[in-house]
Amino acid sequence: MILKPHIVALALPSKFAFPHTTKPSLTTCLIPHFSATPLSYGPSLRKGTAPSQPPPNQNDAVLREEAFTRVFLLAALRVPAAECSALEARLRGHLLNWPRVRNIARVPGDDVHPDLAPLLPHPISADQEEDESRLVALQRRIHGKADADGHVLSPVLYRERLARTFNSRGFVKFRHLAKISRPNRNKKRRKKKEEDEGVKRVGENGSAAVEVVEDEDEEEEEGGLRKLLGEEFARSKWRGSTRLLLLDERYASRGVEELPEAIKAVLKEYAEKSTTLTFELVRCKLTLFYNYWQMTEVLEALLPEGMIVPSAFETVGHIAHLNLRDEHLPYKRLIAKVVLDKNKPRIQTVVNKIDSIQNEYRTMQLEVLAGNHSLVTTVVENGIRFQVDLATVYWSSRLGTERQRLLSGFTQNDVVCDVFSGVGPLAIPAARIVKRVFANDLNPYAVEYLERNSVLNKLERKIKVFNMDGRRFIKAMYASDVSQSITQVVMNLPSEAAEFLDAFRGIYKDRPEGGELTLPMIHVYGFSKARDPEFDFHERIRIALLEVAVNVDMRRVRLVAPGKWMLCASFILPKTVAFANTALDA
């Protein structure tokens, strides 16, 4: 038998059986842009009432979660718990249909263990005294004084009593009891908050609470139901667990008579079928807390009217990476806090890009605005894990699709040279497909993470790592005996990779031209703001190779800024370039 604290309330005589809260003090204040006429269907921060005056959130002031609490008055049918699912199915269309709010609600004291039900006062018992004595016996059992009544304590009650006699240090004999009995800190904190609020929170993260509000028209309602369901309805009071079926917001202030015929018909049918079935039409308060509202709803309410709400951000592992406009900067910490709150636990850190990427290693200048300050994170892309430190290396999840496209063109016979490999988002998955990968980056931190990631993904034997300038790397590769094996070269440094292509001029100048030599497929990335980006990028490639005609397969990768395209050009290194005598020495 499981006893829960609020069962005591249910064990009280029927008039106390459902400790109704007092009518909500609606000396509430309306938030500034509250409109008296409901806006649209569904909950909104601009509807309902706010229980306390929310102080204006100014600039980077601390976010006050209480300011986002909204109370909605609704009507509900209190029904026996056992019947509730069936009734829900029958009444669908008339029940509350708000996102993330269950239309079956539970309120404090709604549950009673089935074993206890027979012990509760019988609804039609004429003998009030007998009921009272049963009640006393029940209370005693709950509070562990049952021996006096001749009842043997259940093992659960016995253990509970035992647990109460120990303090936190006193569990010497029962080493694990403390651990088992003590709720975890978060649970404790949440419970305390609920106790302070006097409500039982429901929903994800305790985002909502339902309270029954004492209704002045209770008598009248009961009379209405009696009229509707017949005199039998009056015979019984609650016996056992109950649930509330929240009715659609349109019926919030309706009496029984005013409910739609469809609802009345279902209730009538059920009442006729069952002799123990009881219904009650109650008024209730649905409170939606800060946790309920979605990121954009909160931000919309926080930011000055007319300001564009930042709604998207890039994620890198546990880090949310914002790109705030100047107008958002006075509110940056508030925005970051909301982003963090609304995306936990996936997001643990919120950062804002301070400046555009300008440095040699393409790392971003980031300011941590909320959450923990670690910029070391793990990203999973297509089943491969990458460790990155955003403070010291480059990473962009936006290129994931492009990487997949490139990888899909590789085969097991390929040998890949990744000239600007970063921490290995292309080199590592490529190593799964191809024969061998030579990966290089100038940034020593990127190289360190590249090696770490190769090991993490058990591919270190297929990847050889270099830490040198890209031009030197190309020359070194083609001066070595692996040159003939290289079939694919990837150059992803869009701001200047094209200008590194000169390194290919004359790579075979010392070899006999008639012999069998491998000419690699080069994939080079670039940006262009020109009206004809393809033509512009092609021009740059031809200039770097000092070649008049290069047969290039060009494609647009993505628009990185208004009017600025990132492109990828793929072409086989022209023989004339490879055997040219005019190689420029770096």
Asked if 229 is part of the footprint of ligand SAM (rule: CB under 6 A), the reply reads no
Query: Beta-carbon neighbour count of residue 490 at 10 Å?
Result: 26
Candidates 217-225, 247-255, 297-305, 436-444 — which segment interacts with ligand SAM by CB under 6 A? 436-444
Binding piece for ligand SAM, criterion CB under 6 A, among 180-188, 439-447, 527-535, 560-568? 439-447
Looking at 44, 69, 241, 421, which residue binds ligand SAM (CB under 6 A)?
421
Residue 367 in contact with ligand SAM, rule: CB under 6 A: no
Cβ atoms of 380 and 404 within 8 Å: the answer is no
Going by their DSSP bridges, the two strands 349-353 and 319-322 should be labelled as parallel
In one-letter notation, the amino acid at residue 430 is A
- Contact predicate 523/491, CB 8 Å: yes
CA angle 70, 72, 74 (to 5 degrees): 165
Question: Hunting for tokens 């209370």 — which residue is that?
Answer: 139
| DSSP 8-state secondary structure symbol assigned to residue 370 | E
Q: Is 372 annotated as a binding residue?
A: no
How would DSSP label each residue in 94-131? SB---TT--SEE--TT----TTTGGGSPPTT-S-HHHH
**Closest CA relative to residue 541, chosen from 556, 557, 553, 531:** 553
- Is 127 one of the annotated binding-site residues? no
User: Residue 314 class from Cβ within 10 Å (0-12 exposed, 13-18 middle, 19+ buried)?
Assistant: middle
Report how far residue 436's alpha carbon sits from residue 460's, in angstroms, rounded to the nearest whole number.
10
The verdict on 422 binding ligand SAM (CB under 6 A) reads yes
Tell me the HSE value of 503 on the side-chain side, using a 13 A CA sphere. 21
Interface with ligand SAM by CB under 6 A: which range of 49-57, 240-248, 367-375, 417-425? 417-425
- The C-alpha angle with vertex 558 and arms to 502 and 388, in degrees rounded to 5, equals 80
**Position among 425, 506, 520, 533 found at the interface with ligand SAM (CB under 6 A):** 425
d(CA 26, CA 31): 14
* Residues 305-364 interacting with ligand SAM (rule: CB under 6 A): 360-362
In the set 394, 410, 527, 571, which binds ligand SAM (CB under 6 A)? Answer: 394
Interacting span for ligand SAM (CB under 6 A) from 110-118, 308-316, 435-443, 565-573: 435-443
| 426 versus 431: smaller Cβ distance to ligand SAM | 426
Give yes or no for residue 371 binding ligand SAM (CB under 6 A).
no
Cis bond upstream, residue 13 (ω within 30): no
How many Å from the N-terminal Cα to the C-terminal Cα in the chain? 83
Q: Using an 8 Å Cβ cutoff, are 14 and 237 in contact?
A: yes
Establish if 443 lies at the interface with ligand SAM (CB under 6 A).
yes
Task: Please indicate if the annotation marks 441 as binding a ligand.
Answer: yes
Identify which range of 31-39, 197-205, 366-374, 437-445 contacts ligand SAM by CB under 6 A: 437-445
Q: Which of 335, 364, 493, 557 binds ligand SAM (CB under 6 A)?
A: 493
By beta-carbon proximity to ligand SAM, the closer residue of 98 and 500 is 500
- Tell me how far, at minimum, the Cβ of 386 lies from ligand SAM, in Å: 9
* Nearest Cα to Cα of residue 529 among 568, 562, 496, 556: 562
* CB of 436 vs ligand SAM, minimal distance in Å: 18
- Binding flag, residue 399, ligand SAM (CB under 6 A): yes
Check binding of 492 to ligand SAM (CB under 6 A). Answer: yes
- Least CB distance to ligand SAM at residue 399 (A): 5
In the three-class reduction of DSSP (H, G, I as helix; E, B as strand; rest coil), residue 419 is classed as: coil
In this complex, which beta carbon is closest to ligand SAM, that of residue 470 or of residue 520? 470
Nearest CA among 71, 18, 24, 78 for reference residue 282 = 78
CA distance linking residue 288 with residue 293, whole number of Å: 8
**Residue sitting closest to ligand SAM (CB):** 422
Does residue 420 touch ligand SAM according to CB under 6 A? yes
Site map 458..487 versus ligand SAM, x via CB under 6 A: -----------xx-----------------
Part of the chain binding ligand SAM (CB under 6 A), chosen from 136-144, 155-163, 229-237, 440-448: 440-448
Query: What are the contacts of 466-472 at 24+ separation with CB within 8 A?
Result: 466/438, 466/439, 466/440, 466/441, 467/440, 467/441, 467/442, 468/440, 468/442, 469/442, 469/586, 470/419, 470/420, 470/440, 470/442, 470/497, 470/500, 470/503, 471/500, 471/502, 471/503, 471/586, 472/586
Residue 288 annotated as binding site: no
Query: Cα 170 from chain centroid?
Result: 41
Is 442 known as a binding-site position?
A: yes
Does 451 help bind ligand SAM (rule: CB under 6 A)? no
Asked whether position 488 contacts ligand SAM by CB under 6 A, the answer is no
Q: Which is nearer to ligand SAM, 470 or 533 (CB)?
A: 470
Interface region with ligand SAM, contact rule CB under 6 A, candidates 172-180, 194-202, 232-240, 395-403:
395-403
Whether 317 has a binding-site annotation, put simply, is no
Q: Could you say whether residue 526 binds ligand SAM (CB under 6 A)?
A: no
Nearer to ligand SAM, 366 or 369 (CB): 366
Name the minimum Å distance from CB 476 to ligand SAM. 12
Q: Residue 315 Cβ, how far from ligand SAM at the closest point, in Å?
A: 15
Name the DSSP letter for residue 70.
Answer: E
CA-to-CA distance for 417 and 437, rounded, in angstroms?
6
Enumerate the known binding-site residues for S-adenosyl-L-methionine.
403, 441-442, 469-470, 492
**Residue list for the binding site:** 403, 441-442, 469-470, 492
Q: Which residues bind ligand SAM (CB under 6 A)?
A: 360-362, 394-396, 399, 420-422, 425-426, 441-443, 446, 469-470, 492-493
